[in-house]
Chains A and B, each alone.
Chain A
């Protein structure tokens, strides 16, 4: 009954060509778990033969165990049984077995019904064939047919049908099912793949292969091994728990550090998640969909023996999927988790996962994280180029599957984690380094998809408190890094212009203990989405970060950075895209208003024309050269209050933040100033000579995206308005009527500009 929906969602989610035996989960699982042969697509006869073999083996095993159990009564037998009988003493093990038995049962019922149908079919009700599903519900009478006999009968039927009508009219799955239930052949009844008589045998081998992993990496039994006591090796379940935290730290360091700060150790919740493979977190139908994916991921070792890796569990796709799904679940309840203030409440949330979750979203995310988990598990080589390439590959594989799905999410879901994750993926090194500082940070990135090809995304820039200002751009160099030379140059540049660039380290607790929406909005920055950079075109990317006071010394810095980026332009051929992003941050202490940290960074990245590294080819449509001169907008300062507001009322210090992102199409004398914050503004400062139509498309898309940005901000405004009453004095100070008015006026301006852009 529900199987059809479950199956449908499963195959939807998998987005791959229909798997074999898509209607017969038990057969698929037996193949995926390695009980039955899979590759190369085994013939029905092969499968039948193996089926018969395993059943014989089980029969022997059972006979032996029953005899052994009865014969040697050494007095030691009974305590051993309570300890070693896997199903009695280990809470959860039987919960791994139950779904296996269930799917076997389910498919048998299904078979029975189909057989019934085909019997009816013979009594010339041929019309029903096309709607087999409809009949299942109506036929309550489940007649247990003897598979043996009916199998033959059906075989005959099939031949008849074949001769009379085209088999194509039949559901191919149904056809296959009938073939599977046929006892024709050398093995006779033992070879009937779907057989009620051998359900115990079949369940046993599925269970065994699940528990022991069939020579693969993940063995569920190991998750039940004693975790206390042996200090030598990390118990597998603890290792897997650590692996999922590791993965989380890569994709969402703020959530990770929140959990760490609350002292929520991963095994507190992961023990349950892992031991019963999420069986307690989801209803059965959802669980089956998860297991579909989980088993479909091979359990064989993915990493060569000589390669160093972080986590054993992440060495097979299946293990990686397990960790990825766990992280996907964490991200799914991210805002709830961030709102918790104690370990207990946080863990309560973690162990009461929402009912009826969006399975598709969960699984899609898990699948993209799976790729990341596998890749990041390989300890990268010291060679910079290699690791950068590696990261790009990761991020691409990681981002692509979910991009379309996420793009559909409504504006209310402002801080889409996708970009945030993406961003983090690219900067995991920095994040890791940051964590060693023991401080949390939040880096929110708001999603922005301008077009499918060209995407801008805002990352947040972190609030700067105390000590030295940090250079965001250095964090982001990975984003653009594909050519090690450029990185070196950029690095030098950073060094020369920066006091220190410990990257977004310390003090960055935006969004910590605070609902993510606000926190994420409160942060702002510009990020050139990597797909933009990864076309066949060479790119120059210049990222500039530095604090400045309004109308102050920033001019110099921006000029510098412009120069830098221009210098790179020369190296490239016509199809060079240069994006320059200028991000300025200013931190003002309450006491000393104009304390400025002289920090400025320029990062200039050039992506060489490396077809491989830039395989996405997305940028084909932007063949023009885009440079990015500074065109600062005075808006930035006006958003200070907003920024502070976003930081949460508890914070004493006020951070102000200005961001500018400027893009300039040189050839077309086309200037775009993209002033970003959670508050985007774009200004067209020069005329546009209609050049390439594609560029125009891009611009229109820009305009469209801008409008989206604006709507987001407006939404936030509404929320903030209603919220601000509940927040206390600080908010009121910040939200002076004047500030708000200005901001709204600025928004209106932005709307105008965006409509201008769109109309081009």
Chain B
């Protein structure tokens, strides 16, 4: 009875939400997964988790999103936290310059701990607070281009671009995986058939950690 078939997806992608404390990560998450927003939400302790399933090109993608507490000082989890993550949403607060300045540090953290092929979307959150803006959209754009990141300004409060931000990340991951899967298929044509649907092994072509996310 408790056994619910959890296989109703084609791909399972792990996405991490990172960024300074108070930039709105948890509300971005709740907006995306539950369409909820809470003005006085409690700060995250440790990690919180959510999932959402979306469709991309006829495929069902299940996103598992890990939302970590922004207090870097208390990261108990760091390395394991990024394990298997194929996407990251790096959030800053457009009304707080400091959170934007820290994006660089978060990128470093990603490079240290996450898969090198991780897809990163930078999100300037709280775009509804335009009158308090401290970081111009252009600054964000320039930085993102320089670092090779996707970029969007979001508002969890007004539900602006949140869905799009996640979709962009997931889409990009999907295409990468797909490409790899095709390549792997080509390569494996001689080696034998691939078990259908269940496991697409891309570990040979790229960092091994990718397998975990797209298998099943």
A interface list, Cβ under 8 A from B = 83, 89-92, 95, 224, 226-228, 235, 237-238, 263, 265, 267-269, 271-272, 275-276, 280, 335-336, 338-345, 347-348, 351, 514-517, 719, 723
Contact A267 B49 (CB under 8 A): no
Give me 9 A-to-B residue pairs in the complex whose CB atoms sit less than 8 angstroms apart, sorted by A's number. A83-B73, A228-B73, A268-B46, A268-B47, A280-B45, A341-B216, A344-B49, A351-B48, A719-B1
Known A238-B76, A340-B6: A271·B64 in contact at CB below 8 Å: no
Tell me whether A224 and B48 are in contact (CB under 8 A).
no
In the assembled complex, which residues on chain B have CB atoms less than 8 Å from the CB atom of A344?
Answer: 14, 49-51, 64-66
Interface status of B203 (Cβ within 8 A of chain A): no
Task: Tell me the complex Cα distance, A514–B216, Å.
Answer: 17
Shortest distance between the CB of A80 and any CB in chain B (Å): 13
Task: Tell me whether B108 is interfacial, beta carbon within 8 Å.
Answer: no
A12 to chain B, nearest CB (A): 29
**Taking A91-B43, A91-B71, A344-B64 as contacts, is the C-beta distance between A267 and B77 under 8 angstroms?**
yes
B47 touches A271 (CB 8 A): yes
Contact indicator B74/A345 (Cβ below 8 Å): no
Asked if B2 is an interface residue, CB under 8 A from chain A, the answer is yes
Q: Give A224 to B75 CA distance when docked, in angstroms.
A: 10
Contact of A348 with B76 in the complex, beta carbons under 8 Å? no
Chain A to chain B: the 7 pairs with minimum beta-carbon distance, closest first: A271-B46, A344-B64, A91-B43, A227-B76, A272-B45, A339-B2, A347-B49
Q: Which residue of A lies closest to B63 (CB)?
A: A344
CB distance from A273 to the nearest CB of B (A): 9
Q: Are A224 and B4 in contact (CB under 8 A)?
A: no
Among A227, A271, A338, A344: residue with most chain B CB under 10 A: A344
Q: Is B78 an interface residue (CB 8 A)?
A: yes
A275 lies within 8 A of B45 (CB): yes
Q: Is the interface of B mostly helix, strand, loop or mixed?
A: loop
Q: Given that A91-B42, A91-B69 are known contacts, is A514 also in contact with B47, CB under 8 Å in the complex?
A: no
Q: Could you say which residues of chain A place their CB within 8 Å of the CB of B83?
A: 263
Chain A residues with Cβ below 8 Å from B2 are 335-336, 338-339, 515-517
Contact status B77-A515, CB under 8 Å: no
A347 with B47: CB separation less than 8 A: yes
Q: A267-B77, A280-B45, A348-B49 are in contact. Are A339 and B71 (CB under 8 A)?
A: no
| Chain B hits for A339, CB < 8 A | 2-4
Are the CB atoms of B45 and A91 closer together than 8 Å? yes
Taking A226-B73, A267-B77 as known contacts, 5 extra A-B pairs with beta carbons closer than 8 A to each other, sorted by chain A number, are A228-B73, A237-B76, A335-B2, A339-B3, A719-B1
Q: Write the chain A residue with the least CB distance to B12.
A: A342
Within 8 Å CB of A92, what residues of B?
43, 45
* Residues 55-94 of chain B, each 1 if its beta carbon lies under 8 Å from chain A, else 0: 0000000001110010101111110100100000000000
Contacts of A267 in B (CB 8 A): 46, 76-77
A348 touches B51 (CB 8 A): yes
Say if the beta carbon of B44 comes within 8 Å of chain A.
Answer: yes
When C-beta atoms are compared, the residue in chain B nearest to A241 turns out to be B76
Known: A91-B69, A226-B73, A228-B75. A345 touches B47 (CB 8 A): no
Residue of B71, B78, B83, B216 contacting most chain A CB atoms (<10 Å) = B71
| Nearest B residue to A95, CB-CB | B42
Among B42, B64, B73, point to the contact of A342 (Cβ < 8 A).
B64
Per the bound structure, the CA–CA distance linking A406 and B216 in Å amounts to 38
Residue of A nearest to B14 (CB): A344
Say what secondary structure dominates the interface of chain A: helix
- A228-B51 contact, Cβ under 8 Å, with A275-B45, A280-B45, A344-B66: no
A228-B76 CB under 8 A given contacts A338-B2, A342-B6, A351-B49: yes
Provide the bound-state CA to CA distance between A83 and B72, in Å: 12
Contacts of B1-56 to chain A: CB distance below 8 A: 1-4, 6-7, 12, 14, 21, 42-51
**Contact between A514 and B44, CB atoms less than 8 A apart:** no
Known: A228-B78, A348-B50. A515 touches B45 (CB 8 A): no
Can you name the residue of chain B whose Cβ is closest to the Cβ of A719? B1
**Which residue of the partner chain A has the closest CB to B65?**
A344
Residues of the B chain whose Cβ atoms lie less than 8 Å from the Cβ of A89:
71, 73
Q: A227-B75, A344-B51 known; A280 and B46 CB under 8 Å? A: no
Q: In whole angstroms, what is the CA distance A335 to B42 when docked? A: 29
Interchain CB contact (< 8 A) of B45 among A276, A340, A345: A276
Report the bound CA distance from A598 to B140 in whole Å: 71
Instruction: Please state if B1 and A271 are interface contacts (CB–CB under 8 Å).
Output: no
Report whether A272 and B66 are in contact in the complex, using a CB–CB cutoff of 8 Å.
no
| Contact call A226/B74, Cβ cutoff below 8 A | yes
In Å, the complex CA distance between A324 and B46 comes to 20
Q: A348: which B residues are within 8 A, CB to CB?
A: 49-51
Q: Could you say which residues of chain A place their CB within 8 Å of the CB of B42?
A: 91, 95, 280
In the bound assembly, the distance between CA atoms of A280 and B77 in angstroms comes to 19
User: Chain B: which residue is nearest A339 at the CB level?
Assistant: B2
Least distance between A340 CB and chain B CB atoms (Å): 7
Shortest CB–CB separation between residue A520 and chain B, in angstroms?
A: 12
Q: Which residues of A contact B216 (CB under 8 A)?
A: 341
**Chain A residues, Cβ within 8 Å of B7:** 341
Complex Cα distance, B78 from A238, in Å, reads: 13
B1 proximity list for chain A (CB < 8 A): 515, 517, 719, 723
CB distance from A258 to the nearest CB of B (A): 13
Indicate if the CB atoms of A90 and B3 lie closer than 8 Å.
Answer: no
User: B50's closest neighbor in chain A, by CB?
Assistant: A348
Q: B6 to A271, Cβ gap below 8 A? A: no
Q: Which residues 167-208 of B have a CB within 8 angstroms of A?
A: none
Chain B residues near A517: list those with CB within 8 A.
Answer: 1-2
Which residues of the partner chain B approach A342 to less than 8 Å between Cβ atoms? 6, 12, 64
Q: Count chain A CB atoms within 10 A of each CB in B2, B4, B6 and give the residue with the most.
A: B2
Q: How far is the CB of A239 from chain B (nearest CB, A)?
A: 11
Contact A268 B50, beta carbon cutoff 8 Å: no
Question: Least Cβ distance of B128 to chain A in Å?
Answer: 24
A263 and B71 CA atoms in complex are apart in Å by 23
**Given the complex of chains A and B, what is the CA–CA distance between A235 and B65 in angstroms?**
26
Cβ contact of A91, chosen from B44, B47, B80, cutoff 8 A: B44
- B50: chain A residues at CB < 8 Å are 344, 348
Cα separation A338 to B2 with both chains bound (whole Å): 9
B135 smallest CB distance to A (angstroms):
21
Asked if residues A227 and B74 are in contact (CB atoms below 8 Å), the reply is yes
> Quick one: which of B42, B46, B47 has the most chain A CB within 10 A?
B46
User: Distance in Å from the Cβ of A124 to the closest Cβ of chain B?
Assistant: 49
Q: Which residues of B contact A515 (CB under 8 A)?
A: 1-3
Q: In this complex, what residue of A is CB-closest to B70?
A: A91
| Closest partner residue, chain B, to A347 (CB atom) | B49
Q: Which of A280, A345, A719 has the most CB of B within 10 A?
A: A345
Q: How far is the CB of B86 from chain A (nearest CB, A)?
A: 13
Q: Bound state CA distance, A444 and B158, in angstroms?
A: 50
Nearest B-chain residue to A238, judged by Cβ = B76
| Shortest Cβ distance from residue A90 to the other chain B in the assembled complex, whole angstroms | 7
